[in-house]
Amino acid sequence: MFLGTHSPRLDEKGRIILPAKFREELSNGLVLTRGQERCIYVFSQREFENVHEQLREAPISSRQMRDYVRVFLSGASDEVPDKQGRVTIPPALRDYAGLGRELAVIGAGARAEIWDAQAWSEYLEEKEAAFSDTDENELPGIL
């Protein structure tokens, strides 16, 4: 499970050092792909296979599903961290997420997400008020 917020930097070669807490889960390979809200989703190879299987089961007759699968998978990139835990983020994904040098890597349960640090800060500021106002009617039985 991926948890927490980390602040790595993007180096001049487009690489990040994975948070130490995430390295073991991602050491055998990972998949980077377009995420919603203009972030990059990071899946372990195993979790991506689960996600892919769910996508395969979706009805091909659904235009919305076909569109989603095309965008999601066409941006996917298999990566293997080097010995220092560095991973290269392909230029197309860096552009998609508007990544600068300062990043936020957040744990989102079954996946991690890579955000431009400023974009993450703005997103979090906007969403924290709604988070505080969430009540049991919206998320029954969760907490």
Is residue 58 over pLDDT 80?
Answer: yes
pLDDT digits (tens, 9 = 90+) for 67-100: 999 999 999 999 999 999 999 999 999 999 999 9
pLDDT of residue 81: 96
Quick one: tokens of 38?
């203009």
What DSSP character marks residue 37? G
pLDDT score for 79: 97
26/20 Cα distance (integer angstroms): 10
Q: What is the pLDDT of residue 130?
A: 81
Contact 109, 43 (CB under 8 A): no
51 has pLDDT over 90: yes
Per-residue pLDDT, 135: 65
- In angstroms, the CA 119 to CA 26 distance is 24
pTM: 0.91
Residue pLDDT, tens place only, 96-137: 999 999 999 999 999 999 999 999 999 999 998 888 776 666
What's the CA gap between 45 and 137, in Å, rounded?
36
| Rg, C-alpha atoms of the chain | 16
User: How much is the pLDDT for 129?
Assistant: 80
Average pLDDT over residues 16-26: 95
